[in-house]
Amino acid sequence: AGVGDYYGPYDAHHLLKQLASGGLGIQPLFFDEVYYCRRCGSLASQRSCGHGPEDRLTLSGTEVRRRLRAGLPLPAEFTRPEVAAVLAEAFRAEREVARA
C-alpha cells in the first residue's frame, strides 16, 4: 500500500509480524505476490513459477484505478470479465457523478 514504490512489497508483512509477536490478538496470514505468468498461462507466485519478470503481468491498485477511470479495459488475464464489467460500471458511474 502507498504511493508509488515508497513501501517495499513486503513491508506490511514485516510490520504485522512485529505486531503479532506483541499480542495483536489475531493471526495474520501472509501471501506472496501473485501475478499472471504468460509462459505458464496461469496465476503464479515466485514459489510456484521460475519464469522472469518479462513473463509476468502485474497491475498495481493504482494502475487498475487509472485504467478504470480512463475507461480502459482490464486485461483478461488480470480479472474475470464479469468482475471487470462490475468495476467498469462503478467507475463509469463515478465519472458521471463527478461531471454533474
- For 41-55, the pLDDT digits (tens) are 999 999 999 999 999
DSSP-derived letter for residue 100 is -
Rg of the chain on CA atoms, in Å: 17
The average pLDDT across 85-99 equals 87
Q: Is the pLDDT of residue 57 over 60?
A: yes
Q: Return the percentage of the chain with pLDDT > 90, whole number.
A: 48
Q: What are the structural domain ranges in the chain?
A: 32-99
Cα separation of 13 and 56, whole Å?
A: 22
Check residue 86 and give its pLDDT.
Answer: 96
pTM over 0.95: no
